[in-house]
A and B are shown apart, each in its own frame.
Chain A
Amino acid sequence: MRTPGRQDGDEAELIERSRKGDSEAFGVLVQRYQRRVIGVALAVVHNQDDAVELAQETFIRAFENLAKFESRSSFSTWLYRIAANLAIDFWRREGRHVVLHGEDADNEISRLPTTHGDSFKEVARSQLSKRLKEALEELTPEHRAVILLREVEGMSYDEISEVLQCPRGTVMSRLHYARTHLRTILQDLAGS
């Protein structure tokens, strides 16, 4: 028998109900954090299909380990940390590779020059995206995660520090390194 779900329940109550095995309550938490959890995974693996799979695994791990969750950090930070750890492990296990699936591949195809419009700009745009993706792949998962969590997810340095479990100073130095690296790539493209 299952208690009826309540969409407007506050987070502590939803967590408590989830702890007791109420998967509907946990479903509300999933809907609340799914976008950001996928975003964190995407920041590391940089492939949407893998990121979605890792995000699912993140929520399942979180559900199984809710008893271990202490309210010292926020639930969201705890979730993002699981996602980041899973994604970094996945990246190390799978190795560096660039495979474009589904929409990613479609996006790349759509960037190819067409007979209409400003072909030169489109080629330049396509080259820029391609080179930037390659530049991201050249970074370590930690550096890539830091810059994408900041620039794409808009996380603060403190949030990134908690999610990646590293000091704030490390976040700053990794960001500096990643930005300098990407800037060099973009400069090379601009020069050529």
Chain B
Amino acid sequence: MRALTCGPSFKTWPGVEQDMAECSEISLMLGAFEDAELEPNEMQEVAYHLARCQSCSGILSDYSSVGRELRSLTPALDFTAPNLAGFADAVIARIDRLPQPWYRRIERYFGSGADFLGSGFAWGGAVAAVAVVTMLLLTPYAQQMSSRRLGAPSAASNQLAAATVAQPSTANDVSSMADNDSHAVISRLESGNPSVAVWSEPRKDTTVIWLPDQP
């Protein structure tokens, strides 16, 4: 390693003016020249200077030595060494111990489920959905709902109509007032036969008949 300064060791050629200022400018670029990180014209300029300047060549050589020493100082990482052998596994083990956010757990569960079952899962889901809709449409409840929408009398309402035949006038009143308020139905019935009271709620298919106690 040489102690170098620009100037004294400058090689000079006849007719070439050497400038100390040039050395100080070039010395700032020597590192980048060593790293090949200069623009092409700057690389050319430094190369031209180095060809003539022994001291700057010395600095460049020192920079190379510094780099070499630093590399020798830092041994290559050996991933078979005890402290590095299981590095990746240790990282993954720590990651697996991290608390997972709920959305990620759900995402992983469904994501992996879809991968596992593939398109069969989607087809199965579609078939199941159709089956549920069909069942809903075919149940008595669904029939009841649909018949009510169409205005047709149901079996239950037929029975109730039969039960009120004993009071023909009141039955007619009930049917005629199907859409009226249930309190109004009571008052009409009471006016026809005060000993019988009928509570009818046509919208719920419910009719309650109160009969007087028999002596």
Known: A1-B116, A56-B91, A187-B1. A21 touches B31 (CB 8 A): no
B80 at the A interface (CB under 8 A): no
A44 at the B interface (CB under 8 A): no
Residues of A within 8 A of B98 (CB): 60, 63-64
Using CB atoms, name the residue of chain A closest to B103.
A21
Binding site for B on A (CB under 8 A): 1-3, 20-24, 26-27, 30-31, 34-35, 38-39, 42, 48-49, 52, 55-56, 59-60, 63-64, 102-103, 107, 128-129, 132-133, 136, 147-148, 150-152, 156-157, 172, 175-176, 179, 182-183, 186-187, 189-191
Is the CB–CB distance between B32 and A183 below 8 Å? no
Q: Which of A3, A49, A56, A132 contacts B90 (CB 8 A)?
A: A56
Known: A1-B112, A187-B3, A189-B1. A148 touches B59 (CB 8 A): no
A189 to chain B minimum Cβ distance, whole angstroms, is 7
Known: A56-B87, A157-B35. A23 touches B3 (CB 8 A): no
Most B Cβ at <10 Å: residue of A59, A133, A157: A59
Which 8 A/B pairs are nearest by Cβ-Cβ distance? A190-B1, A151-B67, A1-B112, A30-B88, A21-B104, A151-B70, A59-B91, A182-B66
B173 at the A interface (CB under 8 A): no
List the count of A-B residue pairs having beta carbons below 8 Å apart.
125
Binding site for A on B (CB under 8 A): 1-3, 28, 31-32, 35, 37, 59, 62-63, 65-67, 69-75, 77, 79, 81, 83-84, 87-92, 94-96, 98, 100, 104-105, 107-109, 111-113, 115-116
Using CB atoms, name the residue of chain A closest to B69.
A132
Is the CB–CB distance between A27 and B31 below 8 Å? no
Using CB atoms, name the residue of chain B closest to A191.
B3
Using CB atoms, name the residue of chain A closest to B104.
A21
Residues of B within 8 A of A157 (CB): 32, 35, 37
Is the CB–CB distance between B84 and A52 below 8 Å? yes
Main secondary structure of the interface of A (DSSP, over half): helix
Is the CB–CB distance between B71 and A151 below 8 Å? yes
Cα A30 to Cα B89 in complex, Å, equals 9
Is the CB–CB distance between A35 and B77 below 8 Å? yes
Is the CB–CB distance between B87 and A147 below 8 Å? no
Given contacts A60-B98, A187-B3, 20 further A-B contacts (CB under 8 A): A1-B113, A1-B116, A2-B108, A3-B115, A24-B92, A34-B91, A48-B77, A52-B84, A56-B94, A59-B91, A60-B91, A129-B72, A136-B70, A148-B70, A152-B71, A157-B32, A172-B37, A179-B31, A187-B2, A190-B2
Residues of A within 8 A of B104 (CB): 20-21
Q: Which of A42, A55, A102, A129 contacts B87 (CB 8 A)?
A: A55
Residues of B within 8 A of A20 (CB): 104, 107-108, 111
Known: A151-B66, A186-B1. A39 touches B92 (CB 8 A): no
Residues of B within 8 A of A128 (CB): 69
